[in-house]
Amino acid sequence: MAKEEIKKLIDDANKLLETEYDNQVSTIKNELRSFKSKTLEKIQKNTP
């Protein structure tokens, strides 16, 4: 019984970590896109 509980806990933790990882990757990609867009806008405004 304890073996099954440990396996379930490990599986749940693994799923949670994978979800958090995917969310972090998505957030970072969105932040990089935003940064790139804002930087390009600043360059275009400052270019005569």
Question: Is pLDDT at 48 greater than 90 in this prediction?
Answer: no
Where b means 16+ CB within 10 Å and e means fewer, 3-14 reads eeeeeeeeeeee
Q: What pLDDT does 30 receive? A: 98
Per-residue pLDDT at 1 exceeds 80: no
- The predicted-structure confidence for 8-47, as pLDDT tens digits, reads as follows 999 999 999 999 999 999 999 999 999 999 999 999 988 8
